[in-house]
């Protein structure tokens, strides 16, 4: 059964669709967790599946299966992070849309044909548009943010279609295989680069890369913690996967495309970090951090080879864990559903040493400090960009790392500072376990990257 | 791995196991770990151990040779003394941070390549900061944060230095670099190392953070970070002229501040800069004798500086005060702690029979031997300042002097602190009286004899007449309740300006950017929806009312307008994108 | 007699201590005058009692310079950085 993960994710969503038809509200988190874990197991089981389906439009290979596992890990962890009094629990539609969105992303990483890429991307996006406004403490600004997200998501899709049109015009086919054959010819022309770039736009949007980043701060701030957690992590994994697939169309380094990626990466990193520096709202800060990290990711794409792509895959894996960890801390701290200010972290080390530690591990990792995964991941990215001869961007990234240190470490500083105001935060056994899981994962990814790297390189 | 056990393993495993041990067993456990590592270091044989391959990069965990062993020896001894001194501390976290700090220092000392070194380097910074944060005062938290920023910045210098170095020579192997071949990658690495060695102008983290650390943490801090840096400088950068000059400048710079500071631990912290200056200068001079001197001085310095911090720490621990303006006359209450401090003070000042005499003079003599008379003169000038500040000023104003307006009645510190001080004092004495015990450990054969008549005469004149100066100027030297600006004034101002710029210019730009999209996008959306709604009404009405061509004509105008507008909006919103595209292509 | 009593006794005898101290200083200078100077290469080795002069002048300047700096530009109130 090559399509097992897809079919299962579909069923997952259907279960909640039927539940949403019924009346009465009941906690769903136990059911959701169970089903998500089964999905994760299934995705692991089918990791070696392979096949070419739907007249070659859909390829199941090691690459796609690894990303499916990552997507399922993301979904499972996100589902595990909700608790029963969370505002999104006992709303079956929420789980349903999460499922559909993941389904779209799952299909996306396997799609090797332009139209199926488009369709799967849209399946995923529409589900997200629907859950962004699901929030108890909704204000006008929050609502506006979701409209913005929808509107510009649609525009970026439009641009992608425009680019795809060009690709089709060049290759007379929508299959990536055919396009690859023609790439040396059309990438020699500026218009060919333009076509590829426009096609990439929608994924830049998903990753919140400059100049398509503007939605992120508003959405992060405007959507509920649960929704933000999902949007900030899982779609980015798939976005990175497709970026890898599409830049692999270029086969060999293309100087204009590389230069473009460099410029976008430089702006993205610099802007994200500089603006992140002055943020007061924790989730907004994470949005800018995400913008900066989208820039770092581009460094891996610059080398246009397996190593660089593996580095991107590795970094997005680390990114998944460190962001989930940070969001989990946020979710545990803001049980009322309000947005957390950075100053709300004050005295966290006293209130809950474990949460402070998890926060520290995640922040250190985001800042790129050994021995966390963030360091190892950045190391791979920088090394690959460096080997490809892109010295300037590596230096820009270095300077950016210095700038970003300031606000990541500031989070840790605040959490270790002053006397605690307010009661200590009690964590259940389950919540503690999840905190440990995140911290350990971040450190293991930092210390033992070789197995994962080897896996990713095989997949490329 | 062969028959060599990395001593750092004990500390890392010990740190992980510590939370599971309770009561008396925990205290024993805390002491056993350093003892185990001392045994392992004692049994080590020279060689290379623990080579590994990481993504095609050759790494080496254990380069055991004479140079690394000197530092390993003093590190494990110091770890034991520090653990003993901190034994009364209840929080596991403090001990764990200490263990990680010591373990990573050992890891850095034995590392044979830059990558391994770098990882341990960073763990050092991140574990040591907890020794500051556990003080739990807002000042300590802030100072720790600055400390961390400095060190991570230094780590990045090192990181990028080593990356470019790799690109240049194709290897991460960490070996001696010849000054004639050094280019900017090497200098980046050097800058990263220099930051940890508190070489001016990269020194400000040290006097900023150490005085804010916990009583026990400061004892650890003063030993490991700067001395690991001295080790890596000795390993990689011996013979760099810039180090000789900067090191000598540090010796004088440090004592100038030590003379005017008020907080005892800040005096000592500035004084670390001065002392590390000797070592850096020794490395910079680069002869066998000078490098020997740097290692010997590092060894001796770790012990007596720790002793001084123990003494100052016990005053702080028992009285809650560390400013000399608030202290005085403590000899009545804590004579044993005073003796500990005084042994440290006369060791650091280079009294015969104590360790400073046999180590510092080696570097001074090396400068003399090489004909670097100016370096020698400045080092001896710093020696005067040392005795004046750490030796006489602190001792006098803390333990003798006039008791403060609101006197304190302190007692002797806990037994474990006294034992730690006693043992350290003993070691200072042994090294000073039997210098061969130290000299056999040094990387090069030692021909230097400290106890010659001329050297004795030189040191005794310097010490005795410094005493005279102090006696004459004691009124002028009395401490004042102020802080003194250092170079970090500029760094802080710079940061502040940058933040203002960021807040006032960059962040609003981003908001503007978002607004642009909002105005062009969202309004465009609603506007076009509105238009098409009107168009629908008019067009459909028109058809229904059968007012044929004229209305259709009007409708088509609207239609054109409408579609045109949408294109304009979307086009504008992508303006930036295309601008870059155009710029690049 | 314990340590504290010894110290207190010594503090009462400052006059005697002072005289002893001056005696030591003179002896040190004399000692240096009669030191063999066979290996003297540099000025610092040749001049008798060089380190006495050096210490007195250097120590004085060092103390006055540092304190002078503290009193003019470096010294600030405790809460200067806020």
**Domain edges within chain B:** 1-217, 238-478, 495-584
Is the pLDDT confidence value at B556 over 60?
Answer: no
Domain coordinates in residue numbering, chain A: 1-131, 227-459
- Of residues A168 and A152, more confidence is placed in A168
Crossing angle of helices B114-133 and B138-169, rounded to 10°? 180
Chains in contact with C, where contact requires at least 3 CB pairs less than 8 Å apart: B
Crossing angle of helices A140-171 and A215-222, rounded to 10°? 140
For the ranges A110-119, A134-143, B316-325, B435-444, which has the lowest average pLDDT? A134-143
Predicted confidence at residue B538, as pLDDT, reads 62
Is the pLDDT confidence value at B152 over 70?
Answer: yes
Please tell me the distance in Å from B53's CA to the nearest CA on chain A: 10
Distance in angstroms between the alpha carbons of the first and the last residue of chain A:
23
In a domain, residue C81? The reply is no
User: Between C3, C29, C77, which is nearest B482 by CB?
Assistant: C77
Suggest the residue from B96, B581, B582 to mutate for an interface test with chain A (most A CBs closer than 10 A). Answer: B581
CA distances from A432 to A35, A107, A225, A235, A352 (A): 22, 34, 19, 26, 10
Asked if C28 lies within 8 A of B460 by C-beta distance, the reply is yes
User: Between A256, A259, A275, which is nearest B507 by CB?
Assistant: A275
In a domain, residue C53? The reply is yes
Asked if B521 lies within 8 A of A413 by C-beta distance, the reply is no
Say whether both C31 and C48 belong to one domain: no
Cα–Cα distance measured from residue B467 to residue B455, given in angstroms and rounded to the nearest whole number: 18
User: Between B156, B576, B585, which is nearest A211 by CB?
Assistant: B576
Asked if C75 lies within 8 A of B466 by C-beta distance, the reply is no
The CA radius of gyration of chain C, in Å to the nearest whole number, is 21
Q: Looking at beta carbons, which residues of chain B come within 8 Å of A450?
A: 54-55
- Judged by a CB distance cut-off of 8 A, whether residue C76 touches chain B is yes
Instruction: Tally Cβ neighbours within 10 Å of residue B27.
Output: 15
- Measured over all CA atoms, what is the biggest interatomic distance in chain A, rounded to whole angstroms? 67
Confidence tier at B276 by pLDDT (50, 70, 90): very high
DSSP state of B54: E
pLDDT digits (tens, 9 = 90+) for B454-482: 888 888 888 999 999 898 888 888 888 88
Closest listed residue to residue B367, CA positions, set B378, B357, B356, B358: B378
Suggest the residue from A150, A153, A274 to mutate for an interface test with chain B (most B CBs closer than 10 A). Answer: A274
- Of residues B499 and A311, more confidence is placed in A311
- Of residues B168 and A24, more confidence is placed in B168
Q: Looking at beta carbons, which residues of chain C come within 8 Å of B384?
A: 55, 58-59, 62
Per the prediction, chain A carries an average pLDDT of: 84
Cα–Cα distance measured from residue A270 to residue A291, given in angstroms and rounded to the nearest whole number: 9
Please tell me the distance in Å from A197's CA to the nearest CA on chain B: 9
DSSP state of A341: B
User: Between A147, A217, A274, which is nearest B506 by CB?
Assistant: A274
Cα–Cα distance measured from residue B314 to residue B14, given in angstroms and rounded to the nearest whole number: 26
Cα–Cα distance measured from residue A221 to residue A226, given in angstroms and rounded to the nearest whole number: 12
A102 contacts A234 by C-beta, under 8 angstroms: yes
Asked if B260 lies within 8 A of C28 by C-beta distance, the reply is no
Please tell me the distance in Å from B19's CA to the nearest CA on chain A: 14
Confidence tier at B582 by pLDDT (50, 70, 90): low
**What stretch of H or E contains A51?**
strand A51-53
- Judged by a CB distance cut-off of 8 A, whether residue C47 touches chain B is no
pLDDT digits (tens, 9 = 90+) for A76-97: 998 888 876 666 666 788 888 8
In a domain, residue C78? The reply is no
Q: Looking at beta carbons, which residues of chain B come within 8 Å of C80?
A: 483, 485
pLDDT digits (tens, 9 = 90+) for A34-60: 888 898 998 888 888 888 888 888 888
Confidence tier at A317 by pLDDT (50, 70, 90): very high
Q: Looking at beta carbons, which residues of chain B come within 8 Å of A214?
A: 510, 513-514, 517
Is B173 strand, coil or helix?
Answer: strand
Is B334 strand, coil or helix?
Answer: coil
In terms of CA atoms, which chain C residue is nearest residue B330? C4
A363 Cβ neighbours under 8 A, 6+ residues apart:
A326, A408, A409, A411, A412
Please tell me the distance in Å from B46's CA to the nearest CA on chain C: 39
Is the pLDDT confidence value at B570 over 60?
Answer: no
Predicted confidence at residue B566, as pLDDT, reads 41
Please tell me the distance in Å from A180's CA to the nearest CA on chain B: 22
In terms of CA atoms, which chain C residue is nearest residue B376? C44
Look up the domain containing C67 and give its range.
44-73
A78 contacts A121 by C-beta, under 8 angstroms: no
At B41, list the tokens. 């270091």
pLDDT digits (tens, 9 = 90+) for A415-427: 877 665 667 777 8
Chains in contact with A, where contact requires at least 3 CB pairs less than 8 Å apart: B
At B404, list the tokens. 């403060």
Coarse DSSP helix, strand, coil percentages of chain C, rounded to the nearest 5 percent: 70, 0, 25
Do A and B touch (≥3 CB pairs < 8 Å)?
yes
Crossing angle of helices A373-387 and A282-301, rounded to 10°? 40
Q: Looking at beta carbons, which residues of chain B come within 8 Å of C42?
A: 368, 371, 373
For the ranges A358-362, B46-50, C5-9, C43-47, which has the lowest average pLDDT? C43-47
Predicted confidence at residue B568, as pLDDT, reads 45
In a domain, residue C79? The reply is no
Number of domains in chain C: 2
pLDDT digits (tens, 9 = 90+) for B79-125: 999 999 999 888 888 899 999 999 999 999 999 888 889 889 988 98
Is B304 strand, coil or helix?
Answer: helix
At B417, list the tokens. 């602190």
Predicted confidence at residue B558, as pLDDT, reads 43
Looking at residues A201-221, what average pLDDT do you find?
84
Is the pLDDT confidence value at A251 over 90?
Answer: no
Suggest the residue from C62, C67, C69 to mutate for an interface test with chain B (most B CBs closer than 10 A). Answer: C62
Asked if C65 lies within 8 A of B464 by C-beta distance, the reply is no
CA angle A313, A315, A318 (to 5 degrees): 115
B57-64 and A58-60: which strand pairing? unpaired
Q: Which residues pair with A281 in a beta bridge?
A: A341
B94 contacts B216 by C-beta, under 8 angstroms: yes
Asked if A218 lies within 8 A of B514 by C-beta distance, the reply is yes
Is the pLDDT confidence value at B542 over 70?
Answer: no
Suggest the residue from C5, C20, C22, C51 to mutate for an interface test with chain B (most B CBs closer than 10 A). Answer: C51
Say whether both C1 and C29 belong to one domain: yes
Asked if B376 lies within 8 A of C67 by C-beta distance, the reply is no
- Judged by a CB distance cut-off of 8 A, whether residue B45 touches chain C is no
Q: Looking at beta carbons, which residues of chain B come within 8 Å of C45?
A: 454
Asked if A263 lies within 8 A of B580 by C-beta distance, the reply is yes
Q: Looking at beta carbons, which residues of chain B come within 8 Å of A383?
A: 163
């Amino acid at each position: 059964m090559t399509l097992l993960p897809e079919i299962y994710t579909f069923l997952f969503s259907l279960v909640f669709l039927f539940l949403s038809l019924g009346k009465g509200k009941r906690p769903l988190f136990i059911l959701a967790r169970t089903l998500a874990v089964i999905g994760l197991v299934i995705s692991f089981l089918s990791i070696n599946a392979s096949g070419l389906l739907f007249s070659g439009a859909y390829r199941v290979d090691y690459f796609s299966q690894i990303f499916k596992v990552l997507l399922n890990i993301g979904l499972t962890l996100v589902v595990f992070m909700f608790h029963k009094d969370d505002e999104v629990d006992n709303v079956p539609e929420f789980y349903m849309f999460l499922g559909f969105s993941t389904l779209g992303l799952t299909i996306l990483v396997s799609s090797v044909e332009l139209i199926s890429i488009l369709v799967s991307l849209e399946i995923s996006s529409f589900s997200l548009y629907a859950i962004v406004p699901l929030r108890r403490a909704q204000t006008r600004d929050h609502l506006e943010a979701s409209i913005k997200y929808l509107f510009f998501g649609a525009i970026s899709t439009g641009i992608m279609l425009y680019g795809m049109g060009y690709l089709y015009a060049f290759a007379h086919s929508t299959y990536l295989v055919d396009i690859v054959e023609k790439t040396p010819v059309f990438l020699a022309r500026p218009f060919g680069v333009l076509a590829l770039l426009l096609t990439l736009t929608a994924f830049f949007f998903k990753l919140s890369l400059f100049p398509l980043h503007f939605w992120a701060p508003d959405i992060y701030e405007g959507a509920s913690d649960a929704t933000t957690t999902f949007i900030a992590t899982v779609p980015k994994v798939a976005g990175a996967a497709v970026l890898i697939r599409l830049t692999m169309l270029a086969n060999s380094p293309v100087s204009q495309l590389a230069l473009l990626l460099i410029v976008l990466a430089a702006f993205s990193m610099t802007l994200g970090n500089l603006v992140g520096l002055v943020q007061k709202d924790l989730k907004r800060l994470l949005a800018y951090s995400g913008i900066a990290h989208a820039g770092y990711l581009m460094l891996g794409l610059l080398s246009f080879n397996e190593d660089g792509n593996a580095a991107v895959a590795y970094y997005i894996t680390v990114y998944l864990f460190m962001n989930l960890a940070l969001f989990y801390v946020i979710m545990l701290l803001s049980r009322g559903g309000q947005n957390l200010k950075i100053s709300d972290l004050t005295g966290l080390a006293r209130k809950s040493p474990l949460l402070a530690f998890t926060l520290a591990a995640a922040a250190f990792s985001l800042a790129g400090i050994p021995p966390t995964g963030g360091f190892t991941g950045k190391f791979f990215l920088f090394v690959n960009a460096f080997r490809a001869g892109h010295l300037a961007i590596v230096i820009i990234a270095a300077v950016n790392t210095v700038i970003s240190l300031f606000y990541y470490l500031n989070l840790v500083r605040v959490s270790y500072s002053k006397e605690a105001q307010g009661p200590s935060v009690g964590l259940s056994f389950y919540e503690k376990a999840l905190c440990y899981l995140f911290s350990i994962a971040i450190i293991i990814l930092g210390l033992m990257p070789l197995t994962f790297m080897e896996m990713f390189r095989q997949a490329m | 791995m062969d028959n060599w056990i990395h001593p750092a393993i004990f500390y890392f495993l010990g740190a992980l196991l510590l939370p599971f041990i309770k009561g008396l067993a925990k205290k024993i456990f805390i002491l056993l770990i350093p003892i185990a590592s001392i045994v392992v270091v004692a049994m080590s044989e020279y060689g290379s151990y623990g080579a590994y391959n990481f993504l095609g990069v050759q790494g080496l965990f254990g380069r055991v040779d004479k140079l690394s062993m000197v530092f390993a020896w003093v590190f494990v001894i110091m770890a034991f003394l520090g653990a003993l001194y901190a034994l009364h501390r209840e929080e596991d976290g403090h001990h764990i941070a200490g263990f990680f700090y010591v373990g990573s220092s050992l890891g850095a000392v034995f590392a044979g390549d830059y990558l391994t070194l770098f990882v341990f380097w960073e763990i050092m910074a991140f574990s040591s900061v907890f020794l500051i944060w556990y003080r739990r005062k807002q000042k300590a938290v802030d100072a720790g944060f600055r400390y961390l920023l400095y060190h991570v910045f230094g780590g990045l210098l090192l990181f990028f230095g080593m990356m470019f170095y790799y690109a240049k020579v194709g290897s991460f192997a960490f070996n001696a670099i010849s000054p004639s071949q050094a280019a900017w990658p090497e200098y980046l690495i050097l800058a990263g190392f220099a930051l940890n060695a508190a070489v001016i102008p990269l020194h400000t983290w040290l006097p900023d953070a150490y005085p804010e650390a916990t009583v026990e943490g400061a004892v650890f801090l003063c030993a490991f970070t700067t001395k690991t840096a001295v080790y890596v400088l000795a390993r990689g950068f011996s013979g760099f002229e810039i180090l000789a000059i900067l090191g000598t400048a540090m010796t004088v710079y440090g004592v100038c501040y030590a003379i005017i500071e008020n907080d005892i631990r800040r005096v000592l912290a500035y004084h670390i800069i001065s002392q590390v200056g000797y070592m850096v200068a020794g490395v910079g001079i680069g002869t066998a004798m000078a490098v020997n001197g740097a290692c010997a001085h590092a060894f001796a310095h770790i012990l007596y500086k720790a002793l001084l911090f123990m003494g100052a720490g016990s005053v702080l621990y028992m009285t809650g005060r560390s400013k000399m303006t608030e202290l005085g006359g403590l000899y009545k209450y804590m004579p044993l702690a005073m003796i500990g401090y005084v042994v440290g003070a006369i060791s650091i000042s280079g009294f015969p029979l104590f360790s400073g005499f046999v180590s510092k003079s080696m570097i001074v003599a090396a400068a003399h031997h090489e004909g670097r008379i100016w370096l020698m003169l400045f080092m001896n000038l710093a020696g005067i300042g040392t005795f004046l500040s750490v030796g006489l000023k602190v001792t006098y104003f803390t333990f003798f002097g006039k008791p403060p307006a609101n006197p304190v009645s302190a007692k002797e510190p806990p037994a474990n602190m006294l034992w730690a001080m006693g043992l350290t004092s003993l070691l200072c004495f042994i090294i000073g009286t039997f210098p061969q015990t130290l000299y056999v450990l040094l990387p090069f054969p030692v021909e230097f004899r400290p106890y010659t008549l001329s050297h004795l005469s030189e040191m005794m004149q310097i010490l005795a007449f410094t005493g005279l100066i102090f006696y004459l100027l004691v009124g002028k030297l009395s401490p004042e309740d102020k802080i003194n600006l250092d170079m970090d004034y500029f760094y802080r101002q710079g940061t502040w300006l940058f933040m203002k710029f960021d807040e006032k210019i960059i962040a609003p730009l981003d908001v503007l950017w978002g607004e642009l999209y909002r105005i062009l996008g969202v309004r465009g959306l609603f506007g076009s929806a509105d238009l098409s709604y009107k168009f629908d009404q008019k067009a459909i009405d028109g058809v229904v009312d059968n007012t044929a061509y004229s209305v259709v004509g009007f409708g088509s105008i609207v239609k054109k307008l409408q579609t045109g507008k949408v294109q304009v909006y979307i086009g504008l919103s992508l303006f930036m994108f295309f601008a870059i595209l155009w710029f690049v292509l | 007699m314990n340590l504290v009593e010894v110290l207190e006794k010594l503090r009462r005898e400052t006059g005697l201590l002072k005289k002893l101290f001056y005696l030591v200083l003179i002896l040190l200078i004399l000692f240096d005058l009669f030191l063999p100077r066979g290996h003297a290469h540099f000025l610092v080795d040749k001049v008798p009692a060089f380190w006495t002069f050096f210490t007195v002048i250097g120590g004085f300047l060092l103390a006055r310079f540092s304190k002078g700096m503290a009193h003019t530009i470096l010294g600030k109130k405790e809460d200067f950085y806020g």
